Amino acid sequence: MIELRDVAYTYGRGELFAGINLTLAPGSFHFLTGPSGAGKTTFLKLCYGELISTHGTVSLFGKDVRDMTRDDVALSRRRIGVVHQDCQFLDHLPVSENVALPLTASGRHAEIEPNLSDLLGWVGLSGQAAQRPPQLSGGERQRAALARAVITSPDVIIADEPTGNIDWEMSQRLLTLLVELNRMGKAVMVATHDLNLIRAAKAQVQARVLRLKDRQLQAAGADL
Amino acid sequence: MSGWLTSVIALVVGDREADRVVPPTGFTATLTVFTSAAMAFLAVFALALSLATDRLADRWAAELARTSTLRISAPAGQLGPQTEAALRLLETTPGVASARALTTEEQRDLLTPWFGAELPLETLPIPQLIEIVEEGDGYDPTGLRARLQAEVPGAVLDDHTRWREPLVEAASRLRGLGIVSLVLIGGATAAMITLAAQAALAANAQVIRVLRLVGAQDAYIARAFVRRFTLRAMAGAAIGMLAGLLGILLLPRADIAGGFLTGLGFRGTGWLLPLLIPPLAGVVAFFATRSAALRSLKEQS
C-alpha cells in the first residue's frame, strides 16, 4: 500500500536520512522510534504524501507521489488516517463534526449518520460530541483525532506520538484501539518514544519496531 | 465539465456541512460586505449618470437640431424693415414650421445673466433675434443663407451646429465616463474581494491544513471560501444598491429644479437596471475569490 524505495530526504543544512526501504503491507504493525530530531515526523510525512523525498521513490497505493497532483494526494489521504501529536482540529466545530470531517470533505454525507455515534462510543467520546475541541482534555483530543483518522475506514493508520501528551492509562486505551484496528486488517505505523507502549503492544500484536538512527532506518526489535 | 462550471453549480446548490468548515466570523466578512455595499452604491450613481447623459445627449441633439436662430444686425432705421423682410422670407421657406422675432423682454432676459437686470436695451445696438422652428426634414441652410444674403444683408443664420456638436460630444463623453466608472468599480470590487479572500485564506491556514490532512481536494476547500465570499458580496451589493436607489429617489426632481445634476436618475424600465448590480457583484466575487483561493492553495502546498 505504501512503499519506500531508496528514499532520502535532505534539508537545507544536510541529509536527514538516506537509503530507506520499507513496505507497509495490509495488516502490518510498525513502530518508529529514534532520538529527537532524527526525522520521525518527516519520515511519516513522506509516508502520507505531505512531503516529497529528495531521492528515491515513495508510492502510495501503487502510484509514485512525484507523479501525483495535489488532488491525487488528497484522494490517497482518504485511505490513510493520520493522527498528529498536536491533534489539529477545526476549533469552531463540535467534536462530532470534526470527527466526521473526512466524510464531509469527501462528499460521503450518507455515511456520517450510521458511523458517527458508534465511533464516538468506541473511543469513549459520546458525551463530548457537542463540545468544541478546545474544551477537551489531551487524552480526549487524541481519541477524537483517532476517531477522525479511522472514520473513512482507511487502509493505513499513521500516528505521530499519539500518546505524547497523555497518561499511561489513556495510552493503553489508545493502543487498544490501534490494535483493534490492526486486527481488522489495517496497516498501522506509530512513531513514539514510549518504549513501554511498544512493549505493551508487542504483547498483543506482532509489531515490527524500526529505529531512525544515524540517517538510517534500522530494525530495533531485539533491543526491546 | 469544467472546474468553474462545477463550482457555479456547487455555489447555487450549496452544501451546509462544507459551508461550516470555514469559521463564520472575521474582519474579512465585514470588509467584503462593506466594500460590496460601497461599490454597489457608487455603481448605482455611475449607472444613473450614464443613463442621464444618454438621455441628455438625445435631448440636446433633438432640441438643438429642431431650432435655429437668425441674427439681424443693422443700423437703427433698418432693423425693423430687415426683420420683417426676414420673417416674410422664412414664411415661404420649405422646412420652416414657424419663425418669430424675440420680444425686447425676451432679449433682455437672455442678456440679464451677463449684464444685469437694469440694462437699458433701447440705447444699445442690440441685434434682433428670430427663432426658427423646423419641420419635416428641416430647411436647406445653404439655400436659405444665399436668399438671406440677397434680401436681408444684415442677417446671420445660426443653425446651432457649432453648439450642438460639442454639447452632444460632451454628453457622449460623460456617458463614456459613466461606463468607465462602472468598469473601474467592478475592477476595484474584484481587487478588494481578492485581497479579503487572500487574507481569509491566510488567517485560516490551520483550517486548510486540517482539511488537507483529512483528504479534502482543492476544489472543496476553495468552494467553502468562494461560496461564502460570493454570498457576502451579493448581500453587500444588495444593501449598497438599495441605499443608492434611495439616494437617487431623494434627489430633487428635474422638472422642479431643472438642470443636469437634478436630472440624474432612472426612467421607466431603467429602474430595473440597478437590480443587476448584486448578481454582477456575485459574479465578480465568485471569479475573484475562486482565482485567489486556488492560487493561495497552490502556494500553500
Task: Please check whether residues B213 and B120 belong to one and the same domain.
Answer: no
Q: Which of B153, B180, B211 is the last residue in one of the domains?
A: B153
Per-residue pLDDT tens digits for B191-215: 888 888 888 888 888 888 899 889 9
Answer with the one of B119, B153, B187 that is the final residue of a domain: B153
Residues of B in contact with A144 (CB under 8 A): none
Comparing A11 with A222, the larger pLDDT belongs to: A11
pLDDT digits (tens, 9 = 90+) for B226-251: 888 888 899 999 999 999 999 988 88
Please list every residue in chain A whose beta carbon sits closer than 8 Å to the beta carbon of residue B14.
Answer: none
pLDDT band at B2 (very low <50, low <70, confident <90, very high): low
Give a yes or no: residue B228 inside a domain: yes
d(CA A61, CA A26) in angstroms, rounded, equals: 11
Chain B partners within 8 Å of A77 (Cβ): 212-215
Same-domain pairing of B200 and B273:
yes
B21 touches chain A (CB under 8 A): yes
Q: Is residue B150 over pLDDT 90?
A: no
Residue at which a domain ends, from B89, B118, B153: B153
Domain identity same for B169 and B292:
yes
* Model confidence at A220: pLDDT above 60: yes
- Domain, as residue range, for B96: 74-153
Q: Indicate if B182 and B287 belong to the same structural domain.
A: yes
Q: How far apart are CA B94 and CA B87, in angstroms?
A: 13
The model's pLDDT over B59-108, given as tens digits with 9 standing for 90+, comes to 777 766 678 888 988 887 888 888 999 999 888 889 888 889 988 888 88
Query: By the CB < 8 Å criterion, does B267 face chain A?
Result: no
- The pLDDT of residue B262 is above 80: no
Q: How confident is the model at residue B190 (pLDDT cuts 50, 70, 90)?
A: confident
Which pLDDT tens digit goes with each residue over B155-189? 888 877 767 778 778 877 877 888 888 899 888 88
Residues B280 and B137 in one domain: no
- Domain parsing of chain A, residue ranges: 2-79+154-223, 89-153
Both B12 and B104 in one domain: the answer is no
Dihedral angle over CA of B225, B227, B230, B233, nearest 10:
-70
Which CATH number applies to A2-79+154-223? 3.40.50.300
Q: Within a domain: residue B292? A: yes
Contact residues, chain B, for A106 at CB < 8 Å: 215-216
Residue B262, judged by CB atoms within 10 A of its CB (0-12, 13-18, 19+), counts as middle
Domain count, chain B: 2
Average pLDDT in chain B: 82
| Residue B4 scores a pLDDT above 80 | no
**Do residue B191 and residue B211 come from a single domain?**
yes
| Cα separation, A32 vs B206, whole angstroms | 26
Same domain, B197 and B278: yes
Q: Verify that B258 and B183 share a domain, yes or no.
A: yes
Beta bridge partners of A191: A32, A160
pLDDT tens digits, A99-126: 999 999 888 888 888 889 988 988 889 9
Tell me whether residues B217 and A84 touch, CB distance under 8 A.
no
On whether both B225 and B246 belong to a single domain, the answer is yes
B95 in a domain, yes or no?
Answer: yes
Is the pLDDT at B45 greater than 50? The verdict is yes
Q: How far, in Å, CA of A218 to CA of A211, rounded?
A: 5
Q: Which of B207, B215, B297 sits opposite A106 (nearest CB)?
A: B215
Cα Rg of chain B (Å, integer):
31
| Contact between chains at B215 and A82 (C-beta distance less than 8 A) | no
State the average pLDDT over residues A149-155: 90
List, for residues B21-41, the tens digit of each pLDDT value. 888 766 777 888 888 999 999
For residue B141, pLDDT beyond 80: yes
Q: How far is CA A61 from CA A10, A68, B140, in A?
A: 24, 11, 89
Binning pLDDT at 50, 70 and 90, where does residue B220 land? Answer: confident
CA distance A218 to chain B (A): 28
Q: What is the pLDDT of residues A22-45, one digit of tens each?
A: 999 999 999 999 888 888 999 999
**In the block, residue with C-alpha cell 504524501:** A49
Residues B210 and B293 in one domain: yes
Same domain, B35 and B146: no
Q: Confidence band (pLDDT; 50, 70, 90) for B50?
A: confident
Q: Quick one: which of A23, A21, A10, A6 has its CA closest to A156?
A: A23
What confidence tens digit (pLDDT) does each residue in A63-101 have?
999 999 988 999 999 999 999 877 889 999 999 999 999
Say whether pLDDT at B257 is over 50: no
Task: Enter the C-alpha cell of residue A135.
Answer: 474544551
